[in-house]
Amino acid sequence: ELQAGIEALDGLYSRYLGQKDAKPDKRVATALQADAARARAEDWETFLNTGLAKAIASGTRTYYGKPLDPEMEEVYQPLVAHARAVLRNRIRRQTAVIFRLLGKFRAGYEAAKRREGGLTFADVTRHVRDGLADAWRTSPLPGFRLDGTVEHLLLDEFQDTSMPQWEALRPLVEHIRAGDGGTFLCVGDVKQSIYGWRGSEPAIIENLPREFPEIETRPLDRSYRSSPVVIETVNRVFEKLPQNAVFGPGGDAGDRDIARQAAQAFAAAFQPHDTARRELDGYCALMSKEAAGDAVRPPDDAGDTENGMPEEAVPESSRAVQLISELHRRHPDLEIGVLFRKKDAIPPLLAGLRRLGIPVSEEAGNPLDLAPGVRVILSLLRLADHPGDTAAAFHVAHSPLAAAVGWKAYPAWLPAEQAAARRELSLRLRTQIGLRGYGPVIFDYARRLLPYSAVEDLPRLERLAVSAYAYEARGRFRVDDFVRWVEGRREAEPSQGVVRLMTIHASKGLQFPIVVLPDLDQRLEGQPLKVAADRPDSGGKYDWVCAWTDRKQRELGVLPEGFAERFDRARLRVMRESLCLLYVAMTRAIHALYLLIKPSRENERTLPLTWAGILRAALAPRDEDRD
């Protein structure tokens, strides 16, 4: 049948070119020829996502604005159905592989914990849930084991509670409610629910009034931290969030519709805020990262033009460095919190501030191998187990370590000489590590790199050497194991800095006189999910998991019926949490809040679906976006 379908497509191409009553459209002819070639090559993903097949699969049935011939649709339908089936089976296999892999990992992980006699916090929660589910109702055992009774229960940050945790706690809550004089108090804010990636479920606190109708609720709409100006800015962004122009029509209408639903879910929990700190002065600014120098300067006393910003174009991180250094100069005794959505955005800003001598602390944690010196040592170590790794050899040969290992002339050697040198160095490294250990060997190489390393990289080289000594306690594993261990480590760089760099998640519960948000231009949805999961009701158990597929495949009918809706619900939860993360970031500020975004593009037709787009529409709306 497949071969017959491809032959029918070839015949359609011939008939289309040979028609006498109308001139063939060259674009249609080219598309027919290309689709036939893709079908013969079994490139079904490209076949379904381009050209005439895409027009039929998506239901538009037009190509370059012209309706498709019914005969053309009839020929294409069997091939479109086959392409959908192939891609659907691929997703099914991917999901099955993920399931089996996770099953094997779980079995191995549980076995390792049993061998070591260890428990994780999740294990403790599960054992409490399973062991005490009925005990609070039927026996005095819990009180006996606690050597007392529980009459009053206070749960803080309740929006971060997971379903297993609530299942463990609910019997205790019911036990207290059934007694005389007991109280149950939980404090939580669904607008600050930002830990969905580790299992928190805001629906638990949202469902409490229905689960316990007699419970009294009070909104968290009064700030005891922020100045009136900061709170006014928060209100302007979130009070009419569903009406924000960024959620209006656009080229990615499907994404914006889900984002609008997420905004409506967030808005249902938001009430206009007030502040108890009305005596505080405040300042908020939405700034372009690429504006001219004067446009990104913070307010100053009249006539004070000292240390003005340079006018030349500089990288985005440099714009943020300029702003933060100027703020520190003017307010040297005030703490400045610089908050990021992703850890990877921290190092360039950290390096720039340290070069200016700004007292700064990095508290989010970053990989050791961000430092060039650490990376070249890891390349050297890779050669110990893999002397054929020519990329690692190239890295070492063009680094300051080339002289230390006798490789200054390596680039000029013949291939056979290079291979022999790699084998000799591999044996030498393994011998050194075997006789002396990782610590002394790596310390020696790190010491040789100190004169060539930037000041901000020296702590990472030092921590690499310290980590190598600590690794000795684990035993002498393969060098590959040590390299992977280092690559997987993320370490904080705390100091007594006045400027504190961290992720928004790490800032939860903190406050700063001045907050700078330089990382606002990422997609609202963040990075694409690897796996989508869904459940029949909010707060219930997950009953559906599927390998992630992009929106194009969902729109082309690849997924079984009902799957697209489940994917959309998974995305909605992610987008709602993204809005919560923006809210948390903005409400860390006491006096001043600086929001740095990219300027609009000259050919921009719609606002980008990003935090920056939301802020632009709310704080600096275009004329066509105004009410």
Which CATH number is 170's domain given? 3.40.50.300
**Residues 72 and 125 reside in one and the same domain:** no
Residue-wise pLDDT for 477-512, tens only, equals 689 888 988 887 776 655 556 899 999 999 998 999
**pLDDT over 90 at 272, yes or no:** yes
Which residues have CB under 8 Å from 487's CB, separation 6+? 367, 369, 378
Tokens 């990422």 locate to 522
| Segment 382-398 mean pLDDT | 94
Coil, helix or strand at residue 306: coil
Q: Give the whole-number percent of the chain exceeding pLDDT 90.
A: 44
Residue 407 lies in a domain: yes
Per-residue model confidence as pLDDT tens digits over 555-572: 888 988 888 889 988 899
With respect to residue 225, please indicate whether it lies within any of the assigned structural domains: no
* Domain limit, last residue, from 163, 195, 220: 220
- Alpha-carbon gap, residue 492 to 87, rounded angstroms: 43
Q: Position 223: which residue type? A: S
Is residue 126 located within the same domain as residue 60? no
**Contact assessment for residue 614 and residue 582, using Cβ atoms and an 8 Å cutoff:** yes
Which pLDDT belongs to residue 314? 40
Answer yes or no: do 143 and 80 share one domain.
Answer: no
Same domain, 129 and 76: no
Domain edge (last residue) among 199, 220, 241 = 220
- Same domain? 86 vs 131: no
- Report the half-sphere exposure of 437 (CA within 13 A, side-chain side): 14
CA-wise closest residue to 257 among 617, 569, 611: 569
Regarding whether 153 and 78 lie in a shared domain, the answer is no
Whole-number average pLDDT of the chain: 85
User: What is the average per-residue pLDDT within 149-166?
Assistant: 89
pTM beyond 0.85: the answer is no
User: What is the span of the domain harbouring residue 436?
Assistant: 369-492
Q: What is the DSSP letter of 455?
A: G
Q: Is the pLDDT of residue 141 over 60?
A: yes
pLDDT in tens, 418-455: 999 999 999 999 999 988 889 999 999 999 999 998 87
Any domain includes 478: yes
383 and 479 inside one domain: yes
Total domain count, the chain: 3
In this structure, is residue 112 part of a structural domain?
A: no
Residues 130 and 78 in one domain: no
End-to-end CA gap in the chain: 57
pLDDT digits over 278-334, tens only? 999 999 999 988 743 433 344 444 333 333 333 333 455 688 999 999 999 999 999
374 domain residue, yes or no: yes
* 437 and 379 within one domain: yes
**Domain limit, last residue, from 49, 71, 90:** 90
Of 345-349, 532-536, 613-617, highest mean pLDDT: 613-617
Q: Name the residue type at position 425.
A: L
